[in-house]
Structure 1
Amino acid sequence: MTAITPSDTLVYPSADGKPVAETFDHLYAILTILEVLRQYSQGQRATVLANQFLYYAQGFPKLRVAPDVMVIFDVEPGGRDNYKIWQEGQVPKVIFEITSASTRQEDTGHKQVLYEQLEVEEYWLFDPKGDWIDGQLLGYRLQEGRYLRIADQCSQALNLRLQVEEVEGLGIAQKKELISRLIVLLEHLLKRLYVKSPDDYNGWERTIRTQRGELEILLDAVPSLKTRWDASFDKAWQIALKNTCKEYPQTNFPPEWPYSRSLEAMLDRDFWLEL
């Protein structure tokens, strides 16, 4: 798109106060796709952005759109507060919109036409709830200035075959790992706090440190899992308490976790020093 004469006094906002996504499923899809593509693009001269303003007309700050996820090649890696095509010199190569029945008209109308005009090579729609897309995933590729439907779910721009099962499978595996590591952490915290066995304290504390480190690595790699922390904690606590009570039937364990369950506390505080 041809740039329009700018004004140095113009402000290009980076936020509009609107929610990122309409449901948790949509938010989780955005964050999962963002993280998967960020990891995939590591080592490349590329950036992956989510829900950030894409400005496409220099001098006109109101002409903007906020794709759910966009991948841009041949630019410096890393985040931006917003993305201005005329400054970066590159149009997004691939855009993902997380769609629903309520956004279908905009996603297949205004946005599709705009991305086509901007010459975004591929446009993908993911329908996490299956509101209107059979198979949940629908892709378009630009050919001779027009979007044509992608039949094989292969992204030529990314050199990837996109499958809903893979995205869901990745999410399930990550959620299972989060709960599994929380179970081990909570079991050993319970033992260190309530079981009178000084000879075992060092071993239990080593396990606590190990699980905390692994949890930090997991959450750094997949920040979207932080949105699952409370629900995962509830499930992990039930299992950890049950397991520990069976292992030490003579010990009285509390029915509820008596300390802070916040992410920061669980990964840092040595609760047994507070007794």
Structure 2
Amino acid sequence: MTSLLPTASPTEIFYPSSDGEPVAETYVHLYAMLVTLEVLRQYLEGQQATVLSNQFLYYAQGYPRLRVAPDVMVIFDVAPGGRDYYKIWEEGQVPAVIFEMTSKSTQAQDQVFKRTLYEQLGVREYWLFDPRGEWIDGQLQGYRLHNDTYEPITDGRSDPLKLRLEVDGHLIAFYREDTGEKLLIPGELAQALRTEAQARQDAEARAAESELRAQALEAEVERLRSRLRELGAEEG
């Protein structure tokens, strides 16, 4: 009997987009991850780049088990927008910068396995952020690729991103190198927009008030002119 069910090609390989594991170890790690994702996504908007968070990075064609899910990765010279997963051999670009929100329980994997993997893949910068300050002195440590080997970043800046990085509590704060301006996190951006809207309303209200005063003054001037004309007529 012939089956009516479709059969997979012997050469067809399935690449999952998830593994059912939690996105992050704690809320603090999740928040740091999502804020970093959104800040960098807004910063790179309009460029040929994408920022992905917790998506599988497949690095060996034909071997779906050879994968890793960086907390945040930035890839340049690719189409903007999200992906369910990222295959290096299809996109043609290796991530330029990867961030891992690390903890005491993931220290060994982040410091040894992932660091070695990203170094071998040619990821230009690898940043470890310890939001709870469990094992990294100063909470933030970056590595930059030099002669195919990672060296500690000592200047606190990201070459590919053209940003300066600082620790701000449980978050990474990013500052533009060209202007020194801080990249606002979603809450700060919303507050800035509210402040801007209020300032615009206040300016419009002041302009309307000035217009009313000008109209009142003009009416008073016209009234005085009329009175002068009346007095001149009476004297004549």
Structure 1: gaps of 5 or more residues: 1-6, 182-275
Compute the displacement of 1:75 (Å): 0.2
Among 40, 53, 62, the residue aligned to 2:65:
62
**Number of paired residues?**
174
The AA in structure 2 aligned to 1:37 is: L
Aligned partners of 2:15 and 2:64 also within 8 Å: yes
Matched, 1:19 2:22: yes
1:38 aligned to 14, 18, 41, which one?
A: 41
Q: 1:119 Cα deviation (Å)?
A: 0.4
**SS at structure 1 position matched to 2:30:** helix
Task: Report percent identity of matched pairs.
Answer: 63
Closer/same/farther in 2, CA of residues 88 and 175 from structure 1, 3 Å limit? closer
Question: 1:72 aligned to 2:75?
Answer: yes
Q: Give the structure 2 partner of residue 257 of structure 1.
A: none
Q: C-alpha separation between the residues in 1 aligned to 2:163 and 2:189?
A: 24
d(CA) in 2 for partners of 1:172, 1:84 = 29
The residue number in structure 1 matching 2:214 is: none
Indicate yes or no: 2:20 matched with 1:29.
no
- Aligned to 1:22, the other structure's residue is in SS state coil
Q: 1:173: how far off?
A: 5.1
Q: Please report how far the alpha carbon of residue 175 of structure 1 lies from its aligned counterpart in structure 2 after TM superposition.
A: 9.8
Contact 2:38 2:186 in 1 (8 A): no
Q: How does 1:19-168 map to 2 (within 5 A)?
A: 19-165=22-168, 167=172
For residues 93 and 189 of structure 2, what CA distance do their matches in structure 1 show? 36
Q: Report the Cα offset of residue 94 of structure 1.
A: 0.3
Cα separation, 2, equivalents of 1:159 and 1:93: 12
Letter in 1 for 2:143: Y
Amino acid at match of 1:131: E
Higher gyration radius (CA): 2
Kept in 1, the 8 Å contact 2:39–2:185? The answer is no
Of Structure 1 and Structure 2, the greater strand share is in 2
- How far apart, CA to CA, are the structure 1 residues paired with 2:151 and 2:113? 16
C-alpha offsets along residues 31-85 of structure 1, whole Å, 9 cap, x if unaligned? 0000000001011100000000000000000000000000000000000010000
Whose helix fraction is larger, Structure 1's or Structure 2's? 1
Quick one: which amino acid aligns to residue 148 of structure 1?
E
How far apart in 1 are the matches of 2:91 and 2:12? 19
1:180-204 CA deviation, whole Å, 9 max, x = no partner?
A: 99xxxxxxxxxxxxxxxxxxxxxxx
Q: What is the deviation of 1:134?
A: 1.4
Name the CA shift for 1:129/1:175 in 2 (closer, same or farther; >3 Å). farther
Q: Give the TM-score taking structure 1 as reference length.
A: 0.60
Give the Cα separation in 2 of the matches to 1:142 and 1:159: 16
- 1:171 Cα offset (Å): 5.2
Give the alignment's TM-score, normalised by structure 2: 0.69
RMSD: 2.2
Query: Does the Cα contact within 8 Å between 2:50 and 2:81 map onto a contact in 1?
Result: yes
Q: Does 1:10 align with 2:6?
A: no
5+ residue gaps, structure 2, are: 1-9, 174-181, 196-236
Secondary structure of 2:70's match?
Answer: coil
